[in-house]
Structure 1
Amino acid sequence: MTLIERLQERLNRVRSMHFVSRPGPRSVTGWQGEGQGQVAVELLDDGVRFVETGTFALAGQASPVAITNAFRWHIHATHVALSHERRGADAAVHLFDLHPLDDDRLASLEGHQCAADLYTAHLTLSAAGIDLEWRIEGPKKDEWLHYRYA
């Protein structure tokens, strides 16, 4: 089975997510915290749609906040295209294509530019699930996010 086929099979079985956010030394946002929640998976003709719901606890804050997110994973023979549905399912924003690096890892070869910020990602299939590491770099941002989908 190819890496893309193995990833698709894992994406279909995801039911939960956990993520950690850490600011880098150039960050002015100080966005540090931890989130967790459930993932509702919708199988599509060309991939999978994730609807994530849960909570995020910002470091130093007493109460977590509710979060929601929706991502579309379009499966292609040579790569996986990741889109974010921040403007709704009919106006999904293509973030980047994840290309295989080796037997267990994919990466965005080109980043997604959003205003002054550049988003890139690495995905690893692990025994625990799917690890997706994001980097966000810009004039005010130097952020690292680690998602674990299980």
Structure 2
Amino acid sequence: MMAEMEAVIQRLWQLLPQIGAFEFEGKNGAGSATDWTGRGEGRVQVTCHQEGWLFDEQGHYQTPHGKVLAMTNRFWWQRTPAGVSLSHLRYQSPVLLFELRSVAGRWQTHEPHLCGQDHYSAELVEEASGFRLKWQIQGPRKNERLEYRYSLMDAASPP
């Protein structure tokens, strides 16, 4: 069983440095007081970072009102004994978002990330051309669903 789990983790781990582009969609749910609805796309530069993979994302985001904004993120993927973890690098300081573990062919949040009263959870689904990372953020003022579609370098079309 342990060898099976290691093989599943290794397959995802080998996929991560092959990513070259992303597409993003955000949707507000009932009761949300934010305006994260919109779409984005861009490039991902993957580099080795402290025994993990750093995703340096650059692109643009379009609101439902047609406004186009610059979009940048820095995400740090690390291996854990039971899966992979994802941190957001803010001002070069990592903020651990969650650990993902493989459950029945999907990667799911082991425990939600708490930011104040907000709960962040995610699910990652591997695909032939990369993977999808679906986030859910729930709190007193938030009910958001975010979906990233990460594509392999050779499958990535210019944004």
Deviation per CA, 1:118-139: give whole Å up to 9, x if none. 1110001012311000000011
1:33-84 CA-to-partner distances (Å, cap 9, x unmatched) read: 1010000100235220100000000111x33100110010001342101111
TM-score normalised by length of structure 1:
0.91
Unaligned runs of 5+ in 1: none
Instruction: Give the counterpart of 2:80 among 62, 76, 79.
Output: 76
Find the aligned partners of 2:80 and 2:33 in 1 and give their Cα distance: 37
Instruction: Extract unaligned runs of 5+ from structure 2.
Output: 1-5, 152-159
Question: What RMSD over aligned residues (CA atoms) do the two structures have, in Å?
Answer: 1.4
Whether contact under 8 Å (1:133, 1:144) holds in the other structure is: yes
Aligned residue for 1:53?
Answer: 58
Matching of residues 1-150 of structure 1 within 5 Å: 2-44=7-49, 46-60=51-65, 62-88=66-92, 91-103=93-105, 105-150=106-151
Give the length in aligned residue pairs.
Answer: 146
**Contact 1:4–1:77 (CA under 8 A) maintained in structure 2:** no
Q: Distance in 1 between matches of 2:94 and 2:81?
A: 21
Shift of 1:96: 1.1
Assess if the C-alpha contact under 8 Å between 1:34 and 1:57 holds in 2: yes
| Mean Cα deviation higher: 11-20 or 121-130 | 121-130
Using structure 2 for the length normalisation, give the TM-score.
0.87
